[in-house]
C-alpha cells in the first residue's frame, strides 16, 4: 500500500466517523516555544488549553500534520525508524469522546479489511502499552476490544505520559505496537524490545496541564484542563514501512528513490556496508526535510530555523562526498524527493524552481567552504608533521568545524590519508561544551505559553467586532480593563491600561502592518491609544494611556482612529503589494515573500533570493511600481474560500495558517492579488509616489527592499534634489553632468593616492639600509631592533621586515620592529629568518616576550608574528627582553 493511499484511508476513516478534515498547518507557526511544528496537536493547542472554542460543530477533527523534529539529527540513519520530517496522522476530540472512543476508532482502522477502507493488519500482531495506573484504558483494551491481557503492558511516566516537553497540555497515553516477528528481536512485548515491536500509534488522553520542568517525567501537573480531550498520532512513515514490507522507513516509496539516485551519483551500493547505509539514509531523510522546510519559507542561515536547514543540507553534501560523489548532487536529490512528495502536497509544484534554487545555491557555497577548508587542513597537517607529532589536536579540528564549517568526518578521513590521527576525544569534548551552552541558552529562551488565561473569558465569550475597514470611528462597550496582567474594574488618569471593546475601528497589528494609533473617549475622559494587538485571532486589545479622567468596565466609549496615521499606513501597505508584484515581474515567480513591515510612509519587503538585485533591476521595480500608482487602478477586497482564492492565483504568506474563509486584496486585476487582512487605499493613485531606497541582505538567502510612500516619498525626493543642487553648485557643473564630473575627480584622487603610496614605498626602502646598520650580534644570532617613525602602519612593519629578511639572507637573524600611533597604540612585529627558525627560534614565542613590557599581545607563524600594545614607554624594554632571550639560548 503506497504512502499516499495510507494518508487517504486515514482521513476517509475519520471523516466517515464525523470528524472535520483540517489541512496541515505550515511547519512554521507563531509559537515562542517551537522552531517548527513537532506534533500533530500543535495547531490545536488553543482548543486543548481552553483559550478558544474549536470551530468544528462536531467538536472533533482529523488531520495529517507536517512535523519536523531535529533534536537528534545525529541519530538519523543509525536507528531505522527516526525521521527528521514525518507526517503525523491524528484524530482529535475536544470534550466529546474520550478513551473508549479513541481506542475503538484506532482498532477499527488498523484491523479493518482493506476492502472496507482499513489497513488490514493482523490483530494477533498488535500489542499496547498503558500508563501505570490507567486501569480504565487497560479494561477497555481487554474487555471492549478483546486484546489478551498478556499483550497489554503498563509503563511509567517517561514512556506513557505525554507532553510537548514544555508547559502545556498533557496526559496519560496508550501506545499501539506492531510485532514484526522474532527475526527482529526478543519476545516479551514493547518493554522487552522496541525494535521488534514497532510503535505505530499513540493515543493521548489529554486531561491535564503541565508546568515547568526538564525531561519526560520531571515536571509538575498544574491541574485539569477545562475539558477532557483526545489527541492521537499515527506515524504515516512507520505504517508505510509495515504495509510495504520493507526493512525500515528509509526504504519506503517516498524515500527509497532518493537512495537509488545517491547510488547512481556516488558509485556506492546501499546494503553493502553499515557505515555507507547510514549515509544513504541521511541523504534520503535530510533531502525531504530540507525540501519541506524550503517549501514553507525557511532559507539557510546561521541562526534558528535557517541554521537547522543549513545543517541538514550540509550533512547531505558531506554524506554524498563520503560515499564517493565528486561533483554537485543536490539538484538530483531535491528533484527526486519533490517528485515523490508532490501527490500529497501539490503546492510543491508551484514552488519547484524556488526550492531547487535555494538548495543548489547553498550546495555551491558549501562546496567552496570545503575547498577552502581543505587548504586550511593541509596547513594544519603540515604544522603537525613539521613538529614531529602524529595527531591533529582536538582544538584544531574543532576550529575547522566551528569556524570554517569543515565537517569532522572529512577532517578524520583526510588526516588518515595524510598518515595522521585526530584527537577525537578532545574534539568531542569541545563539541559537548558547545552543545551544553546551546541547550542552556535554549532553555533560557523558552518561556512556555504566555499566560493568556486572563483573556480566556473574553476570547471565547466576547470576540471583538472589527469595523475599521469602513469606519474610522465606532462606539463600543468596555468589556474589560487590564493593568499589569490582571483585570481591574476602573483605570484612573496617568495609568497605562489595556482596553477590550466589543466593537472597534482600530486595526490590530497583523500581516506586517502596525496597529493603529488613535483615541478612546467618553465624556471628558480621553485615552491615547499607543498600540493595538490581537489575542487568539479574536480579541482586540487596545494598549492605551489615560490622559485625563477615568474609565470603567461596562461604560460606552468612542474609539477613533488617527486619520493621518491610517491614511499613511494604508499607502504603505498597498505600496508593499505593488512592490511585491513588481518584484515578481522582474525576477519571476520564484521571488517569494519572506516577511514585510509597513508603517505610515515607510515599507520594507523581504523576499527569498540568493543573489543581490542589480541597480537596473531595482530601477525597473521602482518604475513598474510607480506605473501601477499612475494607472489609478481600483483596489478591490472580497472574501472567498481558501481553495477558490488559490485557484484565482492569490498569493499567500508563508507560515500563515489561514482559515476556510480568506480576504483577497486585488489591485489591477492580475497585476496583484494577495490574501491579506490589512487596510488599503481605494485606488492605487492614492499611494502617492514610491521611492525605493535600496536593497540588502538580511540573512542567507533573504534580501530586503526598503521604500518610502506618499508624502514621506516626496520629502525624500526633495532632500535628494537639494543634495544634487548643492553638488552641482560646489562642482560648478550642471546636474546631468555630475556623474562624469565626479568620476573624473575620483580618478584624479586614485592617481594621487597611487603616487603617494609609491613615494611611501621608496621612503621605506631607503630607510631599510639605515635599519640594517643597527644590527648586532647576540650569541649565535644577528639581532636587529628598530623603532619606526610614529604613525607607521602595521602593514608597513611587515613590508620593512620582509625587505630586511631578504637582504639578510639565510644567516640566523631576528628582526624586531615597533612604532606608536596617535591613539597610544603600539604596533610591533618579530620576524625570524630561515636560519633562525632552523635553530629553534619561533617568532610567535618572541612576540610574547616583547609584548609584556608594552602591555600587548600577538601571534603568528614561526617566521613572522605581529601584535599590538598600549604602552609606548616600554618599547626599549621590549627590545632588551628579546635580546636577553636570544643571549640565554
Whether the Cβ atoms of residue 609 and residue 617 lie closer than 8 Å to each other = no
- Determine whether 16 is exposed, middle or buried from the number of CB atoms within 10 Å of its CB (0-12, 13-18, 19+): exposed
Q: Where are the alpha helices (H) located in 387-477, listed in sequence order? A: 394-402, 408-417, 424-445, 453-461
Task: Name the 3-class secondary structure at 365.
Answer: helix
CA nearest neighbour of 231 among 65, 352, 426, 53: 65
CA dist 697 and 703 (Å) reads 4
Which helix (DSSP H) or strand (DSSP E) does residue 271 occupy? none
- At 530 the pLDDT is 96
CA dist 684 and 672 (Å) reads 11
Looking at residue 202, the DSSP 8-state letter turns out to be: E
Beta bridge partners of 36: none
Q: Does this chain's domain 453-561 share its CATH topology with 757-887?
A: no
Which residues neighbour 453 within 8 Å (Cβ) at sequence distance 6 or greater? Answer: 51
Extract the annotated binding site for Zn(2+): 573, 577, 676, 680
Q: Which residue has the cell 489478551?
A: 148
Q: Residue 813 has which C-alpha cell?
A: 637573524
- At 399 the pLDDT is 80
CA nearest neighbour of 796 among 786, 784, 807: 786
- Chain CA centroid to CA 414, Å: 31
- Chain CA centroid to CA 293, Å: 10
Q: Residue 821 has which C-alpha cell?
A: 600611533
Whether the Cβ atoms of residue 847 and residue 832 lie closer than 8 Å to each other = no
Q: What are the distances in angstroms from CA 149 to CA 108, 110, 138, 194, 649? A: 19, 19, 8, 19, 56
Reduced to 3 DSSP states, what percent helix, strand and coil does the chain have, rounded to the nearest 5?
45, 25, 30
Whether the Cβ atoms of residue 810 and residue 782 lie closer than 8 Å to each other = no
Q: What are the distances in angstroms from CA 793 to CA 2, 382, 856? A: 70, 31, 16
CA nearest neighbour of 705 among 695, 713, 697: 695
Which helix (DSSP H) or strand (DSSP E) does residue 509 occupy? none
- Determine whether 666 is exposed, middle or buried from the number of CB atoms within 10 Å of its CB (0-12, 13-18, 19+): buried
Q: Residue 422 has which C-alpha cell?
A: 585526530
Q: What are phi and psi of 745, to 5 degrees?
A: -65, -40
- At 447 the pLDDT is 35
- At 654 the pLDDT is 58
The string of DSSP codes covering 771-785 is HHTT-EEETTEEEEE
Q: Residue 504 has which C-alpha cell?
A: 472597534
- At 615 the pLDDT is 93
CA nearest neighbour of 652 among 629, 625, 624, 675: 675
CATH architecture classification, 453-561: Beta Barrel (2.40)
Q: So where are the chain's domains?
A: 3-251, 256-445, 453-561, 566-719, 757-887
Extract the annotated binding site: 573, 577, 676, 680
- Strand 556-561 vs strand 473-483: parallel, antiparallel, or unpaired? antiparallel
Which helix (DSSP H) or strand (DSSP E) does residue 852 occupy? none
CA nearest neighbour of 89 among 180, 8, 197, 2: 8
CA dist 249 and 264 (Å) reads 21
Whether the Cβ atoms of residue 579 and residue 629 lie closer than 8 Å to each other = no
- At 381 the pLDDT is 85
Which residues neighbour 198 within 8 Å (Cβ) at sequence distance 6 or greater? Answer: 81, 177, 178, 180, 238, 241, 242
Angle CA 412–414–415, to nearest 5: 60
| Cβ neighbours around 58 below 10 Å, total | 13
CA dist 141 and 222 (Å) reads 29
| Cβ neighbours around 426 below 10 Å, total | 17
Rounded to the nearest 10°, the torsion over CA 495, 498, 504, 507 is 100
Which helix (DSSP H) or strand (DSSP E) does residue 86 occupy? strand 85-94
Domain 566-719 top-level CATH class: alpha beta
- At 428 the pLDDT is 87
Q: Which residue has the cell 535628494?
A: 720
CA dist 632 and 545 (Å) reads 39
Task: Name the 3-class secondary structure at 3.
Answer: helix
Which residues neighbour 179 within 8 Å (Cβ) at sequence distance 6 or greater? Answer: 125, 126, 127, 196, 197
Task: Name the 3-class secondary structure at 758.
Answer: helix
Q: What is the pTM of this model?
A: 0.65
CATH architecture classification, 3-251: 2-Layer Sandwich (3.30)
Q: What are the mean pLDDT values of the chain's consecutive 10-residue runs (889 residues total)? A: 95 95 87 80 80 81 93 76 90 93 97 96 96 94 95 92 79 95 92 90 91 78 86 95 93 96 96 92 96 90 83 90 92 96 92 90 84 79 83 85 71 79 88 70 42 69 87 94 90 94 95 94 95 87 95 95 96 96 89 87 89 93 96 94 85 68 91 93 96 86 91 93 91 88 92 87 81 91 92 83 90 94 88 93 93 90 92 94 92
Q: What are phi and psi of 326, to 5 degrees?
A: -115, -15
| Cβ neighbours around 81 below 10 Å, total | 16
The string of DSSP codes covering 539-564 is EEEEEEEEEES-EETT-EEEEEE-HH
Q: Residue 856 has which C-alpha cell?
A: 600587548
Residues written for the chain: 889
* CA-based torsion, 357, 360, 365, 368: positive or negative: negative
Looking at residue 491, the DSSP 8-state letter turns out to be: E
Whether the Cβ atoms of residue 344 and residue 3 lie closer than 8 Å to each other = yes
Angle CA 355–357–359, to nearest 5: 70
- At 450 the pLDDT is 42
Q: What are the distances in angstroms from CA 551 to CA 489, 503, 534? A: 9, 16, 21
* DSSP collapsed to 3 states, 58-126: CCEEEEEEEEECCCCHHHECCECCCCCEEEEEEEEEECCCCHHHHHHHHHHHHHCCCCCCCCCCCHHHE
CATH of span 757-887: 3.10.310.40
Q: What are the distances in angstroms from CA 387 to CA 374, 512, 843? A: 20, 59, 15
Amino acid at each position: 500500500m503506497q504512502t499516499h493511499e495510507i494518508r487517504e484511508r486515514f482521513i476517509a476513516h475519520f471523516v466517515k466517523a464525523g470528524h472535520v478534515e483540517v489541512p496541515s498547518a505550515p511547519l512554521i507557526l507563531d509559537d515562542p516555544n517551537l522552531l517548527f511544528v513537532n506534533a500533530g496537536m500543535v495547531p490545536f493547542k488553543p482548543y486543548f488549553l481552553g483559550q478558544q472554542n474549536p470551530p468544528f460543530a462536531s467538536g472533533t477533527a482529523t488531520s495529517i500534520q507536517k512535523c519536523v523534529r531535529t533534536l537528534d539529527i545525529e541519530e538519523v540513519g543509525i536507528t531505522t525508524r527516526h525521521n527528521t520530517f514525518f507526517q503525523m496522522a491524528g484524530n482529535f476530540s475536544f470534550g466529546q469522546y474520550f478513551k473508549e472512543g479513541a481506542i475503538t476508532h484506532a482498532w477499527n482502522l488498523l484491523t479493518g479489511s482493506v476492502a472496507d477502507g482499513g489497513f488490514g493488519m493482523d490483530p494477533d500482531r498488535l500489542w499496547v502499552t498503558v500508563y501505570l495506573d490507567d486501569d480504565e484504558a487497560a479494561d477497555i483494551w481487554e474487555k471492549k476490544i478483546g486484546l489478551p491481557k498478556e499483550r497489554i503492558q503498563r509503563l511509567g511516566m517517561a514512556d506513557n505520559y505525554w507532553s510537548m516537553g514544555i508547559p502545556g497540555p498533557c496526559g496519560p497515553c496508550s501506545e499501539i505496537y506492531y510485532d514484526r516477528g522474532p527475526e527482529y528481536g526478543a519476545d516479551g512485548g514493547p518493554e522487552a524490545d522496541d525494535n521488534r515491536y514497532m510503535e505505530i500509534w499513540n493515543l493521548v488522553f489529554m486531561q491535564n496541564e503541565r508546568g515547568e520542568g526538564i525531561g519526560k517525567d520531571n515536571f509538575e501537573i498544574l491541574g485539569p484542563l477545562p475539558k477532557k480531550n483526545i489527541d492521537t498520532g499515527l506515524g504515516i512513515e512507520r505504517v508505510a514501512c509495515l504495509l510495504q514490507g520493507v526493512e525500515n522507513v528509509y526504504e519506503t516509496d517516498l524515500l527509497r528513490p532518493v537512495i537509488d539516485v545517491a547510488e547512481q551519483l556516488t558509485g556506492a551500493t546501499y546494503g553493502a556496508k553499515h557505515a555507507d547505509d547510514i549515509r544513504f539514509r541521511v541523504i534520503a531523510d535530510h533531502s525531504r526535510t530540507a525540501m519541506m522546510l524550503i517549501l514553507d519559507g525557511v532559507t539557510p542561515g546561521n541562526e534558528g530555523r535557517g541554521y537547522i536547514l543549513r545543517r541538514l543540507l550540509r550533512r547531505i553534501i558531506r554524506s554524498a562526498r563520503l560515499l564517493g560523489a565528486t561533483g554537485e548532487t543536490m539538484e538530483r536529490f531535491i528533484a527526486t524527493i519533490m517528485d515523490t512528495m508532490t501527490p500529497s502536497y501539490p503546492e510543491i509544484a508551484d514552488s519547484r524552481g524556488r526550492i531547487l534554487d535555494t538548495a543548489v545555491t547553498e550546495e555551491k557555497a558549501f562546496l567552496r567552504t570545503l575547498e577552502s577548508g581543505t587548504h586550511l587542513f593541509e596547513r594544519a597537517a603540515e604544522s603537525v608533521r613539521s613538529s614531529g607529532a602524529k595527531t591533529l589536536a582536538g582544538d584544531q579540528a574543532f576550529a575547522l568545524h566551528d569556524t570554517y564549517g569543515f565537517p569532522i568526518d572529512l577532517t578524520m578521513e583526510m588526516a588518515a590519508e595524510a598518515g595522521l590521527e585526530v584527537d577525537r576525544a578532545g574534539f568531542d569534548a569541545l563539541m559537548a561544551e558547545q552543545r551544553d551552552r546551546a541547550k542552556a541558552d535554549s532553555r533560557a529562551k523558552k518561556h512556555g505559553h504566555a499566560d493568556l488565561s486572563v483573556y480566556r473569558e473574553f476570547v471565547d465569550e466576547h470576540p471583538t467586532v472589527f469595523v475599521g475597514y469602513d469606519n474610522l470611528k465606532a462606539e463600543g462597550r468596555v468589556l474589560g480593563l487590564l493593568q499589569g496582567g490582571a483585570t481591574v474594574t476602573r483605570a484612573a488618569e496617568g495609568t497605562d491600561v489595556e482596553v477590550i471593546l466589543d466593537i472597534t475601528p482600530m486595526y490590530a497589528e497583523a500581516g506586517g502592518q502596525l496597529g493603529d494609533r488613535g483615541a478612546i473617549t467618553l465624556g471628558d475622559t480621553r485615552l491615547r491609544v499607543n498600540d493595538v494587538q490581537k489575542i487568539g485571532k479574536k480579541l482586540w486589545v487596545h494598549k492605551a494611556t489615560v490622559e485625563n479622567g477615568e474609565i470603567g468596565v461596562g461604560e460606552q466609549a468612542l474609539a477613533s482612529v488617527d486619520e493621518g496615521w491610517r491614511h499613511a499606513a494604508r499607502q504603505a501597505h498597498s505600496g508593499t503589494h505593488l512592490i511585491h508584484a513588481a518584484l515578481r515581474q522582474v525576477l519571476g515567480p520564484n521571488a517569494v515573500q519572506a516577511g514585510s513591515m509597513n508603517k505610515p510612509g515607510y515599507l520594507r519587503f523581504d523576499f527569498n533570493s540568493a543573489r543581490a538585485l542589480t541597480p537596473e533591476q531595482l530601477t525597473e521595480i521602482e518604475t513598474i511600481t510607480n506605473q501601477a500608482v499612475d494607472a489609478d487602478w481600483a483596489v478591490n477586497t472580497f472574501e472567498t474560500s481558501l481553495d477558490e482564492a488559490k485557484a484565482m492565483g492569490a498569493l499567500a504568506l508563508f507560515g500563515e495558517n489561514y482559515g476556510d474563509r480568506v480576504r483577497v486584496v486585488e489591485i489591477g486585476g492580475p497585476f496583484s492579488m494577495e490574501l491579506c487582512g490589512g487596510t488599503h487605499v481605494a485606488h492605487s493613485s492614492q499611494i502617492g509616489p514610491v521611492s525605493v531606497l535600496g536593497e540588502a541582505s538580511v540573512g542567507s538567502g533573504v534580501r530586503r527592499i526598503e521604500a518610502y510612500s506618499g508624502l514621506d516619498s516626496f520629502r525624500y525626493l526633495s532632500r535628494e534634489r537639494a543634495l544634487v543642487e548643492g553638488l552641482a553648485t560646489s562642482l560648478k557643473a550642471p546636474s546631468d553632468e555630475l556623474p562624469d564630473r565626479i568620476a573624473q575627480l575620483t580618478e584624479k584622487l586614485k592617481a594621487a593616492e597611487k603616487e603617494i603610496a609609491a613615494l611611501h614605498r621608496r621612503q621605506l626602502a631607503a630607510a631599510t639600509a639605515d635599519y640594517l646598520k643597527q644590527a648586532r650580534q647576540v650569541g649565535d644570532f644577528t639581532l636587529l631592533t628598530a623603532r619606526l617613525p610614529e604613525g607607521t602602519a602595521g602593514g608597513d612593519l611587515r613590508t620593512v621586515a620582509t625587505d630586511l629578511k631578504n637582504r639578510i639572507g639565510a644567516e640566523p637573524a631576528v628582526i624586531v620592529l615597533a612604532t606608536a600611533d596617535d591613539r597610544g597604540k603600539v604596533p610591533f612585529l618579530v620576524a625570524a629568518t630561515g636560519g633562525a627558525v632552523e635553530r629553534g627560534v619561533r617568532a610567535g614565542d618572541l612576540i610574547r616576550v616583547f609584548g609584556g613590557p608594552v602591555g600587548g599581545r600577538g601571534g603568528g607563524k614561526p617566521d613572522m608574528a605581529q601584535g599590538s600594545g598600549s604602552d609606548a614607554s616600554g618599547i626599549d624594554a621590549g627590545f632588551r627582553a628579546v635580546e636577553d632571550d636570544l643571549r640565554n639560548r
